[in-house]
Amino acid sequence: MSRRFFRRLTDPRRRDRARFLGDIFAALNRAFQEEAEQSGLTKAEIAKRLGVHRSVITRRLSGQGNMTFETLHDMAWVMGRRVTIHLPRRDDIGLGNSRPSDGSKDLTTSTGSPTFSSSKEPLRFSVNS
């Protein structure tokens, strides 16, 4: 493997970005799975409602390509979800077991990874580092 590859692994900003994107795709997939189980929603139905080919939805759910906020919103909208983003200061982020100062529900686990609630609550993630 090249030095460039290893440099990317050790760059904290890039590592944090990869974790952040992984959290978004995990949340989107979790929401899709919940909706598929509860209402029978399929990738083909999402594609039809958005006017794209089913393969586009499969690629988006698998994390391939660079998803825009617009695409994230549209996919969440089709699933009856709302995307919300909470941007706490890095200094304010504890171990995830305390409530945020704004009174909202803390959505992180002790590892700092977000957890997501039931399908009727907004799709929400925190940007943590």
Is 0.75 topped by the overall pTM? no
CB-based contact 109:69 (threshold 8 Å)? no
- 125 pLDDT above the threshold of 90: no
| pLDDT over 60 (residue 21) | yes
105 to each of 29, 55, 122, how far by Cα in Å? 21, 35, 12
> 37-46: per-residue pLDDT in tens?
999 999 999 9
Q: E strands of 19-90, at which residues?
A: 83-86
| Residue ranges per structural domain of the chain | 11-126
